[in-house]
Chains A and B, each alone.
Chain A
């Protein structure tokens, strides 16, 4: 029997490159929401340690060979890439792999582009590389992960991918147009 074909969240929308910023869809990876059960924080820590990770403090992430873990809210983190099987007894695990359009914005103008849509202080002192923010991309719920000095991963609801790309592209064009007059 034929198998079902996969469609990416940003199918046909990305990559785009405007001026000194570019945006592409990230390679699909397993994303699992991890929410520790009451009184199981230590057990969860042990499980995460086996993955080379620990429970991330608010606004932070940790990365190991197995994958990354991003703080995403009160008692909630997203495990990215790694297999969560060993964590099952200590945390509520929920598959989120298909729920998010995950994009990578990079380039010298990346921070300027985000300043058009995100009400966050993204100066590197305020948001160092590796930190994570739950916030809004304009009106869209977002997880923002600073993966480099000039690079951000942006997670928005899968259903909003087209709007997110539309608004990001407009911001990229405006920043690029300004660059020409600076």
Chain B
């Protein structure tokens, strides 16, 4: 598996550390309540198809990257830096 780091270019997956679904980047407010925190920490979709998740370029540039990939075909359709001002990642 190869992931295109927006900074470093395409690299083998062993340079990256997987974290999990990208919703983890959208942190609830301190006062959001137990349900919201439970959802944020524990509840994840398990799609057969497109999913976005977080990868850390640990043996690389130390960027956190949001990877859009397909769990059925394994195709990676896009990557972006978490700091890039797109979708919900950067606030």
Contacts and interface: CB of A to CB of B under 8 A. Distances in A.
B25 to A, nearest CB: 16
28 contacts: A58-B8, A58-B61, A59-B7, A59-B9, A73-B7, A73-B60, A73-B62, A73-B63, A74-B7, A74-B61, A74-B62, A74-B63, A74-B81, A74-B83, A119-B11, A119-B15, A134-B8, A134-B57, A134-B59, A134-B61, A134-B62, A135-B8, A135-B11, A135-B15, A135-B59, A135-B60, A136-B14, A142-B59
Nearest to B58: A141
Nearest to A133: B8
B38 interface: no
Contact of A73 (B9, B11, B61): B61
Contact of B12 (A73, A74, A119, A134): A119
Contacts of B57: 134
A119 B83 CA distance: 26
Interface in B39-91: 57, 59-63, 81, 83
Contacts of B83: 74
Contacts, number: 42
B54 to A, nearest CB: 15
A136 B59 contact: yes
Q: Which of under 10, 10 to 19, 20 to 34, or 35 or more describes the interface residues of B?
A: 10 to 19
A142 B14 CA distance: 14
Interface residues of A, number: 14
A58 B11 contact: no
Contacts of A120: 11
Contact of A119 (B14, B62, B81): B14
A141 B63 contact: no
Contacts of B62: 73-74, 76, 134
Given A72-B61, A133-B8, A134-B57, 13 more contacts: A59-B8, A59-B9, A73-B60, A73-B61, A73-B62, A74-B7, A74-B81, A74-B83, A76-B62, A119-B14, A134-B62, A135-B60, A141-B59
Contacts of A136: 14-15, 59
Interface in A123-163: 133-136, 141-142
List the 4 closest pairs (A to B, CB-CB), nearest first.
A136-B59, A73-B61, A119-B12, A58-B7
